[in-house]
Amino acid sequence: AAGFASIGFAAPSLLRGPVRAADGEIAICGTWELTAPGIANTAMLCERGSRLAVETVSKKIGLVATYAGLDSEGDPGKGVRKVSEQISQRNAKFFVGGASSAVALAVSKEVNKANGVYVTTGGADELTGSDCAKSTFRWPVATYGAVEGTVRPLRQLLPQAKRWFTI
Q: What is the mean pLDDT of the chain?
A: 84
pLDDT (mean) for 92-102: 91
Specify which residues 67 forms β-bridges with: 28
Residue 122 has a pLDDT of 86
Residue 144 has a pLDDT of 78
Residue 6 has a pLDDT of 44
Q: For residue 20, what pLDDT band results from cuts at 50, 70 and 90?
A: low
Nearest to 163 by CA among 147, 148, 145, 151: 151
Q: For residue 30, what pLDDT band results from cuts at 50, 70 and 90?
A: very high
Cα–Cα distance for residue pair 167/44, rounded to 1 Å: 22
pLDDT of 80 > 60? The answer is yes
pLDDT (mean) for 127-145: 83
Residue 61 has a pLDDT of 85
